[in-house]
Chain A
Amino acid sequence: MTRFARWRRPWRAAAAAGSAALGVGLLLWSLLPIYNMLLIALDPDEGETEFAGLIWPPEPSLNSFIGVLGQQYWYLEHFWRQLGNSFYVGLLTMVLTVLIASLASFSVGRLRLPWARWLTKAALLAYAVPASLVAIPFVWMVHRYGLSDSLWAVIGAEVMFALPFAVLVLEQYATIIPFELDEAARIDGASPLQVYRHVYVPLMAPALAAVGTFALLLAWGEYLYQYLLLSSTRHWTVAVAIEQFFDADEAPWNYMMALAIIYSLPPVAIFYAVRRYMAAGLTMGGVKG
């Protein structure tokens, strides 16, 4: 690299050593808590969180994973149903967020709705309202309209949280799509709905994928609303199921960690599958502000 060309040799060696040390440090920092999860989950004894000074448990056991998947503990008796609920909430939040946000950004960016700027600002303001401030009246509202213990109330909350950021990212992304394409379609006699379906959505596909993934991960990982809104174990999501272990004094922690690991696998897999889209789509909103 040219910028190092003028540096003397010892400096270069020191810089390389510093880079390597920083790299090792970052690796340890990123992996230590994950390693800790594995250690506890693989421990054969229930409730064992002590660390024996060994890098790997002497008798690693997959009992806890088998226990979770086979619903063998009474805390886990609805595991598969709760996993299904998590997917249901996540996927519906994704679909609704993509649909509503793309329609809104089309209206604001392409059809030039007059109060478009006001809307973007309102979306920004929504960032600043703490989720816990809205949670208390939200729960009251849900009870009042008979939606308590309903997954739809949770989906509504998650869509609400995903939307402002989604609209912001889509609006930014849409600025790189030339208006001439819309106009050409309009001259050919397309209605705004047809322009949306045949021009806007196909060209916006990468940003829509990013926004959809963002919504899915948000709904999967969020837990305050799921914890407050869902009361019966059959309607719980996995996030709530993990939290219940905290309320017990004598819970099998290896089961809890196994549950936490299983719960983490889908979002991690999705994240790495669409990582390029995610990074490009999500950072764009941030950088272009």
Chain B
Amino acid sequence: MTGVRDIAAVGPFARDRRTGRRVGAPYASELVWAVAFILPYAAVFAGFGLYPIAYGLWIGKDPALYAELFANAHFFEVALNTAIFAGFGANAMMVLALLLSGFFMQRRRWIKALLVLCLLPWALPAIPAYVSFHWMLLGEYGLLNSLARELFGLQWPVWFNERWTALAADIVAYMWKWLPFWILIFLAGRMAIPPDLYEAADIDGADGPRRFFHVTLPLLANLYLICTALCAIWIVGDFSAAKLVSVGSPGMSSEVLASLSVRYAFVSSRPGLGVAAALSTLLVLVPLVVLLMRRIEARRLQL
């Protein structure tokens, strides 16, 4: 160890006067270490991420594929399903998660115990959850319809016989699985709000709804927007809900783009068409990602 050189290396680090943080690029000796430390990440990212993506783009560059894709009316049906799933699902999920996080803020014992139980759907892997939803909603003798009939004498529809109810079943199952995660995110967000603000609002005579609309909502607005965009992005990429809950029934009319692309590629052996279907989601994904990046950027500047 050459102690003197190391001290020299540590000593003159430039510091930002206001934050006290180190700024600027590292010295050459450190740069070697920095590159070595990042190398495994870069290798995985390049080998298992960029390379397949680049190859996917290369497969999907043929315009004829898109002509074939758009010529099929089924594609637009599926695109509409995906849009409804993401648009309705993400917004409903966020509204519910935001409101329920307020419910779980109450400092009562039974509510804390309830939260622990309500995390169960999140802890459960997706496959068992969706498989259970499939059987619960299947036919006239699934658990849900049977309960409605035995307890209330109601005759509910056969959910998977109709495109819209089948799609709704997928959305509900997806929300069941992921709602606890978003509730936790908003709980953390609410906990980060300084209590003084609520005390000040109390002194000004604000009641429940006003506290929500004038304190909580403005402070959580950015987080809410980020989460909505992220949730929509994840829904567009989700394959398992449509594949396992409704299984596309009736007649593949409740499919989404993710399951359609996998079906084209691996069942119909048309990888090009599958990639084209997957790439068509970029029309929605790119604006969402841009929104996400901008909001996160704004947040960074604010902090």
* B188 touching A111, Cβ below 8 Å: no
Given contacts A137-B53, A286-B227, A289-B300, contact A37 B262 (CB under 8 A): no
Beta-carbon contact of B128 and A260 below 8 Å: yes
For A114, the closest partner residue in chain B by CB is B25
Give every chain A residue within 8 A of B47 (Cβ-Cβ).
Answer: 156
A248 within 8 A of B: no
Q: Does B189 contact A (CB under 8 A)?
A: yes
| A271: chain B residues within 8 A (beta carbon) | 119, 122-123
Say which one of A59-67, A71-79, A184-192, A202-210 lies at the interface with B: A184-192
B83 proximal to A (CB < 8 A): no
Please state if A179 and B59 are interface contacts (CB–CB under 8 Å).
Answer: no
Contact at B146–A26, with CB atoms within 8 Å? Answer: no
Q: What are the interface flags for A123-140 relative to B under an 8 Å C-beta threshold, 1 for contact and 0 otherwise? A: 011111111111111111
Task: Choose from A2, A100, A243, A253 the contact partner of B44 (Cβ within 8 Å).
Answer: A100
Could you tell me how many residues of chain B have their Cβ less than 8 Å away from some Cβ of chain A?
114
Closest to A158 in B: B48
Within 8 A of B (CB), among A52-107: 52-53, 99-101, 103-104, 106-107
Contact partners of B51 in chain A: CB under 8 A: 141
Is there contact, CB below 8 Å, between B125 and A267? Answer: yes
A49-B138, A179-B21 given; A107·B52 CB < 8 A = no
> Does the CB pair A133–B278 fall under 8 Å?
yes
Partner pick for B142 among A31, A51, A183, A187, CB 8 A cutoff: A51
**Is B89 on the interface with A (CB-CB < 8 A)?**
no
Chain A residues whose CB sits within 8 angstroms of the CB of B35 once the complex forms: 107, 113
Query: What is the CB-to-nearest-CB distance from A53 to chain B, in angstroms, rounded to a whole number?
Result: 4
B68 interface contact, C-beta 8 A: no
Interface positions of A from 24 to 61, Cβ below 8 Å from B? 26-27, 29-37, 39-40, 49-53
Interface contact A267-B118, CB-CB below 8 Å: no
Residues of chain A contacted by B293 (CB below 8 angstroms): 121, 124
When the two chains form their complex, are residues A263 and B141 in contact, meaning their CB atoms are under 8 A apart? no
Q: Given A112-B24, A163-B41 in contact, is the A136-B147 Cβ separation under 8 Å?
A: no
- Given A124-B292, A163-B41: A287 in contact with B48 (beta carbons within 8 A): no
B185 contacts which of A2, A101, A286 (Cβ < 8 Å)?
A: A286
Q: Mark B31-69, 1 if CB is under 8 A from A, else 0.
A: 101110110110011011101110110010000000000
Complexed CA–CA distance, A183 and B11 (Å): 9
Q: Check B91 for interface membership: any CB of A closer than 8 A.
A: no
CB distance from A127 to the nearest CB of B (A): 6
Distance between Cα atoms of A130 and B207 in the complex (Å): 43
**Shortest beta-carbon distance, B29 to chain A, in Å?**
9
A224 to B44, CA, bound (A): 19
Q: How far is the CB of B297 from chain A (nearest CB, A)?
A: 9
- Asked whether A268 is an interface residue with its Cβ less than 8 Å from the other chain, the reply is yes
Q: Does B252 contact A (CB under 8 A)?
A: no
Cα-based distance from A280 to B123 in the complex (angstroms)? 15
Supposing A267-B123, A289-B226 touch, asked if A113 and B38 sit within 8 A by C-beta, the answer is yes
Q: CA separation between A52 and B288, bound complex, in Å? A: 47
Q: Which of A32, A107, A267 contacts B37 (CB 8 A)?
A: A107
- Please determine whether A51 and B143 come into contact, CB atoms closer than 8 angstroms: yes
Residues of the B chain whose Cβ atoms lie less than 8 Å from the Cβ of A217:
125
In the complex the two chains form, is B141's CB within 8 Å of A51's CB?
Answer: yes
Does chain A have a CB within 8 A of B166?
no
A122: interface (CB < 8 Å): yes
In the complex, residue of chain A having the shortest beta-carbon distance to the beta carbon of B259: A132
A133 to B135, CA, bound (A): 29
A36 close to B143 (CB less than 8 A): yes
A176 to B303, CA, bound (A): 14
User: Which residues of the partner chain A approach B116 to less than 8 Å between Cβ atoms?
Assistant: 272, 275
Beta-carbon nearest neighbor of B270 in chain A? A136
Whether the pair B124, A264 counts as a contact (CB closer than 8 A) is yes
- Please tell me if the beta carbons of A37 and B132 are within 8 angstroms of each other in the complex: yes
Contact assessment for B233 and A127 in the assembled complex, using a CB-CB cutoff below 8 Å: yes
B93 proximity list for chain A (CB < 8 A): none
Answer whether residue A228 sits at the interface, using C-beta atoms and an 8 A cutoff. Answer: yes
A201 at the interface (CB under 8 A from B): no
Interface centre among A100, A179, A228, A272 (most CB of B within 10 A): A100
Residues of A within 8 A of B233 (CB): 127-128
Which segment of B71-79, B154-162, B237-245 sits at the interface?
A: B237-245
Q: A134-B53, A289-B222 are in contact. List 18 more A-B contacts (CB 8 A).
A: A26-B100, A27-B118, A30-B117, A31-B117, A33-B176, A37-B131, A104-B40, A121-B293, A133-B261, A140-B52, A141-B52, A156-B47, A157-B48, A159-B48, A189-B3, A257-B135, A263-B127, A289-B226
Cross-chain pairs A/B with CB under 8 angstroms, 10 sampled: A26-B118, A37-B128, A53-B149, A113-B26, A130-B236, A133-B261, A137-B52, A160-B45, A167-B41, A268-B120
